[in-house]
Amino acid sequence: DSLSSFICLQEKKKQAQLLQKALEVKEEAFKEKMKVITCRWRDVHAKEAQLKVHMEKSGRILKEHDQMRIQALKKASKEREMKIQKESELVRARRKLEALKNKHQKLCQKVQKYSIFTKYLEDVVKISQFEEIQEVIWRYETLVRVHKDLLQSQQGHMEMSEQAKVLLDQYMAEKEAEILQYQNELVQLQLRYDQAQSDIVPWETRWADIQNMTAKKALKLETVKMAILNLFQ
């Protein structure tokens, strides 16, 4: 913030210098206008005096020169109007000059207020690798731009991360739905397996009975074979 204020200070100094030059030009132009107005005012007074003398001397031929008198009056009236106009311009110029002075005073106060940063930057130049204050300002502006670029990059990464999170949530929801479906199928298969296990018991019992019966019949068959063999012998 301090460096930004100093940069603003440098800009204000430049503006103050430009305003000072403009003020000097305005003052010079104002002086020239005042000289012109003064000369014209003197001319008007001189012409009015000459006109009065001429009217006193030319009383007898007043009628003959009435047109000239009217023209002179018109000219004097026009000059008076010009005088009033110049006076109005002078008032506006004075007001503008006063405003410029006030602005210049405010700028000088700001320059004095922020002069501490000049000392600070001079100390920075002394203890750093920089040779001039302008280099420090350039480095600061570069860092500001880099910081802005980093913030934009970070914002982009955050947006990409949010998009990836949304996609991951969608993927997880889909997989959870599939897992729930598989769990339901597993429950159904478990029920079928339990039913099949319950059905196996009677069949195993029946199979054991068949094996016992087969063993008995085989034993009986062997007995019959032995009896037949004995009878044959």
Q: Supply the range of the domain harboring residue 55.
A: 8-127
The more confident residue out of 173 and 7 is 173
- Number of domains into which the chain is organized: 1
Confidence tier at 60 by pLDDT (50, 70, 90) = low
Phi, psi torsion values for 63, nearest 5 degrees: -65, -35
Confidence tier at 3 by pLDDT (50, 70, 90) = low
Residue 223 lies in a domain: no
Alpha carbons 215 and 210: distance in angstroms, whole number = 8
Residue 33 lies in a domain: yes
Query: What pLDDT is stored for residue 62 in this prediction?
Result: 61
pLDDT digits (tens, 9 = 90+) for 79-114: 888 888 888 888 888 889 888 888 888 887 877 776
> Looking at residue 233, what DSSP letter applies?
-
Task: Calculate what percentage of the chain has a pLDDT beyond 70.
Answer: 91
Query: What pLDDT is stored for residue 204 in this prediction?
Result: 81
Q: Extract the tokens encoding 126.
A: 């002394």
Mean pLDDT of 109-127: 72
Query: What pLDDT is stored for residue 49 in this prediction?
Result: 80
pLDDT digits (tens, 9 = 90+) for 167-185: 888 888 898 988 899 889 9
Confidence tier at 154 by pLDDT (50, 70, 90) = confident
Residue 68 lies in a domain: yes
Residue 69 lies in a domain: yes
Tell me which residue has tokens 């000049």.
118
Query: What pLDDT is stored for residue 195 in this prediction?
Result: 82
Residue 62 lies in a domain: yes
Confidence tier at 7 by pLDDT (50, 70, 90) = confident
Q: What is the pTM of this model?
A: 0.29
Q: Extract the tokens encoding 169.
A: 């949530």
Residue 66 lies in a domain: yes
Report the mean per-residue pLDDT for the chain. Answer: 82
Query: What pLDDT is stored for residue 64 in this prediction?
Result: 66
Name which of 7, 3, 12 is nearest 120 in CA terms: 3
Mean pLDDT of 35-62: 77
Position 59 pLDDT exceeds 80: no
Residue 176 lies in a domain: no
Alpha carbons 140 and 134: distance in angstroms, whole number = 10
**28 backbone φψ class: left, alpha, beta (φ>0; ψ -120 to 50):** alpha
Residue 143 lies in a domain: no
Alpha carbons 51 and 63: distance in angstroms, whole number = 15
